[in-house]
Amino acid sequence: MIARDKSTALFEEAKTLFPGGVSSPVRAFRSVEGAPLFMQRGEGALVWDEDGNQFIDYCCSWGPLILGHADKRVTQAVQEALVKGTSFGTPTRYENIMGQLIINNHRFIEKLRFVSSGTEAVMSAIRLARGYTGRNKIIKFEGCYHGHSDALLVKAGSGLVTLGETSSKGVPAAFANETIVVELDDEAAISSAIEQYPNDIACIIIEPVPANNGLLLQRKEYLQFLRNICDKHNIILLFDEVISGFRLGFEGASGLYNIQPDLITFGKIIGGGLPVGAYGGKKEIMGMVSPDGPVYQAGTLSGNPLSISAGIAQLQACLTSGFYEELHRKCRIIADKVNRFTAEAKLPFNILTTGSIFWLNFTEDCVIRKASDIKSTMPALFKPFHRYLLEHGIYIGPSGYEVCFVSAAHTDEQLEQTADIIMQAITHTFQK
Ligand SMILES: Cc1ncc(COP(=O)(O)O)c(C=O)c1O
């Protein structure tokens, strides 16, 4: 058993200070065993907790750390910016550098605006879609998570599904009524929602690679169908790429599928582990944002020099030749080895991947496209599995609905070792 005394004591104290003892719900370890691990430091692919345990980390701060922990390029950039001042409330040259980096290397971003989180990016993009179209309703998909703004906490994934709820209390019915929720991978459901409200739908928002309720990889034809139906009805197509942006390639899922959304939201990777978000897309639509246009959106710390410096360093690394090919190869080391093993052993488990994202799928199915396809037995299987991984030095997010991330810092040796431990954990789980 790994020592958890210090984490447990810190958690007991934290519970007297914060709801659930945490600053974000999934961190509370409610769906797995024991107290959450309080992390102390990280380096490359490794993290160490307060009890001195070392782990190979596949949470990677839930996605932002594509270069791993404390990457020198990122920490140096932040240090250089830090000594010059933490925030000015004025424009800085960092924003221009980052803006050019993105716009020059991403076909679908003509203009963008920096904000401070993914939630804020999505909330602002939805307001923009409504302002631009003059319509109120939005369509979202069951299991897709888009942050915690009111309109989007309806049948969402991530922490809500982990805690067994899919919608949040405190969202007025009048707001929720403006959000139409449909299942993924169902063309007829979209067509009938649009038929019902032909002139009221401002936007369709989707994670083009839904990764907050398992990994629900969509058919390209389905995403293209969404593009076409949006064009036909003058609806904004909004790709929420807070996870997939700069992760699946520099152009994210939009580039991977070669589908141009009208707006894209970003977060995570563009901040290098510091708080950040952004939304952008077609110039004509972004021209509606204040002060150029009538859609208001602002932020005291928007474009913060530390976050943007970290983001510049990280994105520059992502742009180096062969970066994504190498990252994707690394992810396949785990998936291929484990999948060969479970196929041969005929165990109902496989690893689903796209790029450097992987998800532990506790079924024999290799295609899972909808939230409702995930079996209700999964959380019970995930619990002993998660414990086994922790006991053997592997840290993944404490929920079976969450995906894992491989960073450029993971070595082949660490990945091979992880695959071996996952295989042991599966055997252990299914023997129970
Ligand atoms: C797809 C997606 N959109 C939006 C968000 C919200 O981002 P943040 O947690 O930075 O507010 C998340 C967070 O995980 C996300 O995965």
Residues 210-220 pLDDT 10s: 999 999 999 99
Task: State the residue for tokens 């004591």.
Answer: 9
Please identify which of the residues 268, 282, 330, 370 carries the catalytic annotation.
268
268 as an active site residue: the answer is yes
Q: How far is the CA of 99 from the centre of ligand 1 (A)?
A: 21
**What's residue 431's pLDDT?**
82
DSSP 8-state symbol, 51: T
Please identify which of the residues 94, 145, 324, 388 carries the catalytic annotation.
145
How many Cβ atoms are within 10 Å of 302's Cβ, its own excluded? 20
DSSP 8-state symbol, 412: H
Q: How far is the CA of 271 from the centre of ligand 1 (A)?
A: 13
Going from the C-alpha of 123 to that of each of 115, 181, 261, the distances in angstroms are: 10, 17, 17
145 as an active site residue: the answer is yes
Q: Which atom of ligand 1 is nearest to the CA of 62?
A: 14
Are the C-beta atoms of 395 and 2 separated by less than 8 Å? no
Q: How far is the CA of 403 from the centre of ligand 1 (A)?
A: 13
The radius of gyration computed from the CA coordinates of the chain, to the nearest angstrom, equals: 21
Helical spans, DSSP H, in 64-139? 72-82, 93-105, 118-133
Q: Which domains does the chain have, with CATH numbers?
A: 5-70+321-431 (3.90.1150.10), 72-318 (3.40.640.10)
Q: Which atom of ligand 1 is nearest to the CA of 240?
A: 1
Q: How far is the CA of 62 from the centre of ligand 1 (A)?
A: 9
The mean-pLDDT minimum among 5-19, 59-73, 139-153 falls in: 139-153
Are the C-beta atoms of 280 and 112 separated by less than 8 Å? yes
CA–CA separation, 254 vs 40, rounded Å? 36
H/E run at residue 188: helix 187-196
Q: Which atom of ligand 1 is nearest to the CA of 147?
A: 6
Are the C-beta atoms of 372 and 6 separated by less than 8 Å? no
Determine what percent of the chain is predicted with pLDDT higher than 90. 90
**What's residue 400's pLDDT?**
96
Q: How far is the CA of 135 from the centre of ligand 1 (A)?
A: 24
**What's residue 221's pLDDT?**
98
- The chain-wide mean pLDDT, for the chain, equals 95
DSSP 8-state symbol, 48: E
Given a cut of 70, is residue 159 above it in pLDDT?
A: no
Best residue among 243, 354, 402 to mutate for probing ligand 1's pocket (most ligand atoms within 8 Å of CB) is 243
Half-sphere exposure at residue 99, Cβ-oriented, CA atoms within 13 angstroms: 16
Three-state secondary structure along 275-343? CCEEEEECHHHHCCECCCCCECCCCCCCCCHHHHHHHHHHHHHHCCCCHHHHHHHHHHHHHHHHHHHHH
**What's residue 162's pLDDT?**
58
Structure tokens at 12: 């007991």
Amino acid type, 135: R
More confident site: 377 or 417: 417
Amino acid type, 84: K
Q: Which atom of ligand 1 is nearest to the CA of 119?
A: 11
**What's residue 172's pLDDT?**
83
Q: How far is the CA of 427 from the centre of ligand 1 (A)?
A: 33
Q: Could you read off the pLDDT of 240-290 as tens digits, one per residue?
A: 999 999 999 999 999 999 999 999 999 999 999 999 999 999 999 999 999
| pLDDT confidence bin for 170, thresholds 50/70/90 | confident
395 as an active site residue: the answer is no
Given a cut of 60, is residue 163 above it in pLDDT?
A: no
| Closest of 415, 422, 416 to residue 392, by C-alpha | 422
Task: Compute CA 234 distance to the chain's CA centroid, rounded to the nearest angstrom.
Answer: 28
What is the mean pLDDT of the segment spanning 200-213? 97
**What's residue 158's pLDDT?**
61
What is the mean pLDDT of the segment spanning 289-315? 98
Given a cut of 80, is residue 167 above it in pLDDT?
A: no
What is the mean pLDDT of the segment spanning 333-361? 97
What is the mean pLDDT of the segment spanning 84-107? 98
Please identify which of the residues 240, 324, 370, 401 carries the catalytic annotation.
240
Q: Could you read off the pLDDT of 16-56 as tens digits, one per residue?
A: 999 999 999 999 999 998 999 999 999 999 999 999 999 99
Q: Which atom of ligand 1 is nearest to the CA of 244?
A: 1
Given a cut of 70, is residue 365 above it in pLDDT?
A: yes
Which protein residues touch ligand 1 with a CB less than 6 Å away? 62, 117-119, 122, 145-147, 158, 207, 212, 240, 242-243, 267, 277
| Closest of 272, 66, 255, 273 to residue 264, by C-alpha | 255
What is the mean pLDDT of the segment spanning 92-117? 98
